[in-house]
Amino acid sequence: MRKLTITGVLGALLLAFSAGGANAQQPTPAQPATFATGGPATCLKCHDDAKVNPILQTPHATKGDAHSPFGQMGCESCHGASGDHVAARSNKPSVLFKGPNASPPAARNEVCLSCHQSGARMNWQGSQHANNDAACNNCHTVHVRKDPVLVKLSQAEKCFTCHAEQRSQVFRFSHHPIREGKVACSDCHNPHGSAGPKLLKELTVNETCYNCHAEKRGPLAWEHQPVRENCMNCHTPHGSNQPRLLAQRSPYLCQECHSNSGHQANPQSGQQLPGKTGFNGAISTNFRAFARGCVNCHSQIHGSNSPAGMWFTR
């Protein structure tokens, strides 16, 4: 009688397992999605309405351009293969951009970035908007003749749907003409990503401001250090209740740095000594500066090229 060893038993089990595995039913591979026949005309048989038709007047619908969606697979260039959706209305297109069953932001963005990934969009990956799962169609509207976010007068309202604090700031007394449509958020920010802070188009705050305020760039013979460091040391870019977008009124703004002895250290606020009235009771030793702004004298506060401009007076 043949002895059964541990090795022989294990070998028999492995042989039986391999035989059973070979005879086992293999999983059926998923069938690839099929494209609908007939192109956009097939889609428009059902989706013939005012929300869809305007796309026919946009660059996306240029059939003669091989880079446009309609120059390739039509609607399915963006929405994915939809043959099953045409055959059975219960099936959804591969990519849905809106509605409760919308595809994940990453899937929607992948469609857009397949064409729009260079130029201003090259820093999208890793940007603040991308990290917060913002989808391209959260801001952009494709099925219209003119995308509102690309129009200066209507762009801000798109941004304000998320940035409510900035919306309140542009309604203040002093503001950039954003509501008037002369300045757009994208004049300073690149919403698709930037190497600078706060999605600024340039690497620093000052370089961004100099795109419009070139006269402040310099170089100047006498430079005001806080100005050269950061414009936001004195200004608030979106809006302020003080003139010229100042963070607070002069002289208090200046006294945040100039608090040493001398006329710049006096309150200059109109406070009175107890029992005194008028100039005789004012808490100020220099009546020329009483209740006035520093720039009344230091008019060249951003810097001066005058040989006598050390104190920015001219």
In the beta sheet, which residues pair with residue 174? 240
Could you read off the pLDDT of 151-187 as tens digits, one per residue? 999 999 999 999 999 999 999 999 999 999 999 999 9
The predicted structure's pLDDT at residue 19: 53
Could you read off the pLDDT of 69-125 as tens digits, one per residue? 999 989 999 998 888 888 877 778 889 999 888 999 999 999 999 999 888 899 999
Q: What is the full DSSP assignment across the chain? A: -PPPPHHHHHHHHHHHHHHHHHHSPPPPPPPPP-PPTTTHHHHHTT--STTTGGGGGSGGG-TT-TTSGGGTTTTHHHH---HHHHH-TTSPPS---SSTTPPPHHHHHHHHHTTS-SGGGTT-TTSHHHHTT--HHHH---SSSS-GGGSHHHHHHHHHTT-HHHHHHTTSSB--TTTTTSS-GGGTB-TT--SSGGGBSSSSHHHHHHTT-GGGS---SB--HHHHH-GGGTB-SS-BSSGGGBSS-TTHHHHTT--SSSGGGS--S--B-TT--TGGGBS-S-GGGTT--GGGT---TT-B-STT-TTS--
d(CA 132, CA 111): 18
d(CA 303, CA 298): 10
Could you read off the pLDDT of 123-147 as tens digits, one per residue? 999 999 999 999 999 999 999 999 9
d(CA 49, CA 55): 11
Residue 36 CB partners (closer than 8 Å, separation 6+): 42, 43, 76, 81, 82, 83, 85, 86
CA distances from 115 to 61, 67, 90, 122, 146 (A): 14, 8, 30, 12, 19
The predicted structure's pLDDT at residue 165: 96
Domain ranges of the chain: 46-144, 218-296
The predicted structure's pLDDT at residue 270: 47
The predicted structure's pLDDT at residue 246: 95
The predicted structure's pLDDT at residue 242: 93
The whole model's pTM is what?
0.78
d(CA 312, CA 305): 9
Average pLDDT value for residue range 34-47? 82
Could you read off the pLDDT of 227-252 as tens digits, one per residue? 999 999 999 999 999 999 999 988 88
Could you read off the pLDDT of 290-314 as tens digits, one per residue? 556 788 888 899 999 998 888 898 7
| Closest CA relative to residue 198, chosen from 164, 237, 248 | 237
Q: Which two tokens stand for residue 31?
A: 């069938």
